Amino acid sequence: MTAPPPSLLVEDLAYAYPDGHQALFGVDLRVERGERVALLGPNGAGKTTLVLHLNGILRAGRGRVAVAGLPVEKRSLQEIRRRVGVVFQDPDDQLFMPTVGEDVAFGPRNLGLPEPEVTARVAAALEQVHMSDAADRPPHHLSFGQRRRVAVATVLAMQPEIVVLDEPSSNLDPAGRRELAEVLAELPVTLLMVTHDLPYAAQLCPRSVILDGGTVVADGPTGELLTDADLLAAHRLELPYGFDPTPT
Amino acid sequence: MGAAHGGTLSARYLPGSTAVHRLEPHAKLVSVLTFAVVVVATPVHAPWAPAAYAGYLLAVLAVAAVAGVGPGRLLRGLVVEVPFVLFAVLLPFVAGGPQVEVLGLSLSRTGLAAGTGLLAKATLSILAATVLAATTEPRALLRGLERLRLPQVLVQILMFMIRYADVVGGELHRMRIARESRGFTGGGLRGLRVVGATAGALFVRSYERGERVHLAMLSRGYRGSMPTGPSVPVGTRSWAVALSLPLAAAAVLLAGILLG
């Protein structure tokens, strides 16, 4: 019996935007099933461009992406988008339906699941992010932190192979940040977290990858990368004042 | 509930559980539309037209009473009518034909009839629509439109409008505060230019948000049509209840045509 394919495999991925701006120059990344990986890098490093390749919104100029063994291609897009759950940075972009429940049901219904299954998945996903009592509420009446957790639920309801979070801790107050961390820590899924919140990466992801200038410049245990002051400084990454990254 | 469901746009919704509230939204929509058609079909120049308008008014007011929609709410609903009123007031002055003297003014007889008719028809239709808006949540209305086979694209546009009215409104509000915090007081030509720039910035921001929302939708398997939940079939009885308004109006119209 061979080992299962990695949740995410990115090989030599390059991409230039239609205006000629090249964002990725040959990215290699392998994320095994159940791993939690932080994707670190300064603004403009190509993080978001990479994320948009993972579910086929952008198509590789060169190289390939595969999710649990399935290559990202035009004919596999629907299945790819089920397998890769992307949580975007602004929950107001992610939550567009009139109520939380309908929004969480949007993905499963697109998959054509029968209604009882949809209901069950909505309930389970909201339960996982501790938002069960919000199903009938309109998204704009929730706090920002609650909206972000609901945004996580919208992809959990699709039972993805891998959850990709774009800047999950941005704009959260300290309590909202902690509540989201508690939710994320409990999730039994493969996680790729795009962030420049280094303490958040240290808290949630044993492994980190640094992306800069459109290539992977470092890949290793989060604790090691965050204690390498020269590496961080070379890529415009900084620890907040007073934060000690040494693993205890 | 109420204003809590859909923000600004659902401020018109009055929560309740009257017979009118409980009707299926698409039945109510059909009812209001048919009512409006009957009202519009009434010939303006018929001598019995004022009596027919009174009949229609009674019918709408009866429905409003059952639905618990008060006169204040009905009057506020009529605010959208203001442009029609202006146009209707102009008609007697600009239309040709035989003239009549009213308060020393020479007015066109046909223009007067047309103006009054326009005003009466608009008012009646808007009253019916106000009752609909007061007894149906915006998202229920959307479900109703969808069941009536309104093109998906239009339903989705309306849905996004309801969802994002508050978000865009919030952005506008923040931009205004930021403007005023830097000493802007508005007024004058310069003020107009600044407001124009704000509108432009808001448009660009909203456009970009639209693109991001579209990405988020694609990422969750969107393929052009909005998946909907289960819908319950509507019994003959609720259809009969819903259609009682246009049927009453049609009876008034028929009576006018036959007796008048």
Which residue from A85, A107, A115 is facing B229, i.e. has the nearest CB?
A: A115
State the Cα–Cα distance between residues A29 and A60, nearest whole angstrom: 14
Residue in chain A nearest B216 by alpha carbon: A94
Structure tokens at B221: 């398997």
Residue of B6, B2, B4 lying closest to B143 (CA atoms): B6
Which residue from A82, A93, A158 is facing B216, i.e. has the nearest CB?
A: A93
Which residue from A78, A94, A111 is facing B216, i.e. has the nearest CB?
A: A94
Residue in chain B nearest A164 by alpha carbon: B219
Residue in chain B nearest A93 by alpha carbon: B213
Residue of B44, B112, B38, B122 lying closest to B85 (CA atoms): B122
* Three-state SS at A198: helix
A42 class by beta-carbon count within 10 Å (0-12 exposed, 13-18 middle, 19+ buried): middle
Q: Can you give the pLDDT at residue B49? A: 87
Cα-based distances in Å from B62 to A243, B71, B80, B211, B245: 69, 12, 22, 46, 9
A171 and chain B in contact, CB less than 8 A: no
In A, which residues are within 8 Å of B223 by CB distance?
Answer: 78, 110
Asked whether the beta carbons of residue B159 and residue A98 sit closer than 8 angstroms, the reply is yes
- Mean pLDDT throughout A66-73? 94
Residue in chain A nearest B141 by alpha carbon: A98
For residue B80, give the DSSP letter.
G
A116 and chain B in contact, CB less than 8 A: no
Cα-based distances in Å from B76 to A7, A216, B14, B50, B183: 58, 61, 13, 24, 35
State the Cα–Cα distance between residues A45 and A216, nearest whole angstrom: 10
Confidence band of A141 (pLDDT split at 50, 70, 90): confident
ipTM of the prediction? 0.82
Question: The whole model's pTM is what?
Answer: 0.81
State the Cα–Cα distance between residues B34 and B36, nearest whole angstrom: 5
In A, which residues are within 8 Å of B6 by CB distance?
Answer: 98, 138
B205 and chain A in contact, CB less than 8 A: no
Tens-digit pLDDT string for chain B (260 aa): 333 444 555 567 888 888 888 888 999 999 999 999 999 998 888 888 889 999 999 999 999 999 988 888 888 888 888 887 888 888 777 777 777 777 777 777 778 888 888 889 999 999 999 999 999 988 888 888 988 888 888 988 988 888 888 888 888 888 888 888 777 877 777 788 888 888 898 999 999 999 999 999 999 988 887 777 777 777 888 888 888 899 999 999 998 888 87
Residue range B153-202, pLDDT digits in tens: 898 898 888 888 888 888 888 888 888 877 787 777 778 888 888 889 89
- Mean pLDDT throughout A101-120? 92
